[in-house]
Structure formats: structure tokens, C-alpha cells
Amino acid sequence: MVKGEMDSIKSTIAGAAAGISAVLAGQPFDTLKVRLQTSNQYKGLADCFRQTIAKDGFFALYRGMGAPLLGVTPMFALSFWSYDMGCRLVTYGKPKDYKLSMFDYFLAGGFSAIPTTIITTPMERVKVVLQTQDQIVGGKKYNGMVDATVGMFREGGIAGLYRGTIATLARDAPGSAAYFVAYEYFRELLSPKDGSFSLGAVLFSGGMAGVAMWSIAIPPDVVKSRIQAAPVGTYKGFMDCATKIVTQEGPQALFKGLPPALLRAFPANAAAFLGRAASLEIMHKLW
């Protein structure tokens, strides 16, 4: 097996480890974010947390986790593989000792969002419906991930599962670009000059990557969540949904869910990059 193939395999496995780590660390914050984005019944983050626990119990914060847990393996694996491919594309034809610039990382990060959208959209569609079904349709409609996936497919076919694709790409392309640029910037800034592994550098860089992404990704994420949670026919598309939100609720509504997203961003992505780095270290030692 040639080095390029080996590197791709390692990148894929490391990406899967990153995804699992991120979901386990960040799911409660994600549930609160989605609930704030899709309902006006909460006064804020603390009230959303209180009502959720009081009504449905602590484990309601992990509702819908099955979908991302099953989805993160291919999603994060594909994301990090695509990012590595993006890095190779921007260095194509360049000298072997060429050092990537931050703009190169930006382009590679944006590229990584294109293939991952294929997996992210149906996964998040199921997750959002499970997280919000009690407040959108007035009760529990689906009993878990499999039931929701089958039910939505029966109701709307493959298009039903892929509702919100444009909004997902509008969120993830700029978000992923910021994500990987921030990680590479802080990693270069904080890592030891001898290139040795630094736990602190990985954790802080990963956390800041998440903060950078969600600092710019919340408005399209709000639109995505509304489109994916709403009954069929509520919105004609991305721009129609965004326009209705601003017209009816004001521009500030596009930033609903920002506090829990930022609270989740640092620990979840610190865990993700730690999972990736740790798995790479192990694999480098094994083969």
C-alpha cells in the first residue's frame, strides 16, 4: 500500500474517532440550541434547560443522539478525508517543500463541506425532528431514529430526508473553512517547535476551531433547523424561510441558539480534535 493510500485510511479512521468524541461531549448543548431555534416558548438558554429537564427529564438532552452517533463515523471521516484531499488539491503542482498558507487551509476547509453535506443533511433532518417533535407537532410522533427515518421516507421519499440541503451547505461551506483555518492557526501558534504532540495545543486549537465555525454559522443553521422541523409546505426554500424569520421576528432571530452553540463548540470540538490526534498517534505507532 502506497503512502497516500495509507494516509487516507488513517485520516478516515481518525475522523470517525473525532466525530464520536464530539457527539458525546456536545449533544446536550445541541438539543438546547435546536429547541431555542425552533420555538418561541423559551425566555433563554437557562429557561430552555429548565423546561426541558422538568418536562422530559435529564436524558431528553440526549434525545436524537442515535442519528448523529451513527452518522458521525461517515460524516467526520468524510470531512477530515475531504479536508486532506482539499489540502492536496491546493498544493497540486507545488514544490514538495511547499508550506500551506492560511488561505490554502481556508479553501481546503470550504471544499470539505461539499461531500459531507450528502451525509449531514439526512442525519440532521432526523435529529432535528426528534429534538423538536413534542413542540412542533404537539406530541411524540416517532419512537427513535429508525422509526423517524422510515416514517419520513414514507411520507416524503428521499426528498423528505434531504430537506434543508441548501441551508446545510450554506452553513457548512463557510463554517468548515473557518473551522480548519482556526485549528491550523492556533496549532501552529501553540505547538512545540520540535513538532512533538501537545495535549494543550490540540485541545485549545480544537476548541477555538469550533468557536470560529459557530460564530459565523448560526444564521444559516437557524434557517436549516426551521426548514427541517417545519411541516411540509411551510417554506418554499432557503431565502423564503430566512425572509419570513426576519420579517416576523426581526434580524436577531437569526442568532437564536448562539449561546448554547458557542458553549457546545469549545468542549465538543476540543474533544473531536483530541480524539483525532490521539487515534493518529496510536496508528502512527502501530503502522
**Is the pLDDT at 272 greater than 60, yes or no?**
yes
**Is the pLDDT at 140 greater than 80, yes or no?**
no
Angstrom distance (rounded) from CA 50 to CA 20? 27
Buried b (16+ CB within 10 A) or exposed e, 185-207: bbbeeebeeeeeeeeebbbbbbb
In this prediction, residue 56 has a pLDDT band, given cuts at 50, 70 and 90, of confident
User: Which one-letter DSSP state was computed for residue 60?
Assistant: G
- 77: part of which helix (H) or strand (E)? helix 66-90
In this prediction, residue 2 has a pLDDT band, given cuts at 50, 70 and 90, of very low
**Is the pLDDT at 6 greater than 80, yes or no?**
no
Angstrom distance (rounded) from CA 94 to CA 167? 34
pTM reported for the whole predicted model: 0.79
CA distances from 245 to 159, 250, 253, 256, 285 (A): 23, 7, 7, 11, 52
pLDDT at 30: 84
Give me the CATH number covering residue 106. Answer: 1.50.40.10
Identity of residue 216 = I
pLDDT at 213: 96
Residue-averaged pLDDT of the chain: 88
Provide the domain limits for residue 215.
3-286
**Is the pLDDT at 166 greater than 90, yes or no?**
yes
| pLDDT digits 0-9 by tens, 180-214 | 999 999 999 998 888 777 889 999 999 999 999 99
**Is the pLDDT at 4 greater than 60, yes or no?**
no
| pLDDT digits 0-9 by tens, 90-117 | 998 899 889 999 999 999 999 999 999 9
Name the percent of the chain lying above pLDDT 70. 96
User: Which one-letter DSSP state was computed for residue 94?
Assistant: S
| Tally of structural domains, the chain | 1
In this prediction, residue 232 has a pLDDT band, given cuts at 50, 70 and 90, of confident
Q: Look at the block and give the residue holding cell 423528505.
A: 160
**Is the pLDDT at 71 greater than 80, yes or no?**
no
Give me the torsion for CA of 255, 257, 262, 263, rounded to 10°: 150
pLDDT at 3: 47
Residue 230 grid cell: 417545519
In this prediction, residue 1 has a pLDDT band, given cuts at 50, 70 and 90, of very low
In this prediction, residue 136 has a pLDDT band, given cuts at 50, 70 and 90, of low
Residue 189's nearest CA partner among 273, 102, 276, 263 is 102
Residue 108 grid cell: 481546503
Question: Once rounded to an integer, what is the mean pLDDT over residues 169-185?
Answer: 96
Question: Once rounded to an integer, what is the mean pLDDT over residues 116-122?
Answer: 90
Angstrom distance (rounded) from CA 191 to CA 199? 9
Total residues found in the chain within this entry: 287
Question: Once rounded to an integer, what is the mean pLDDT over residues 258-271?
Answer: 89
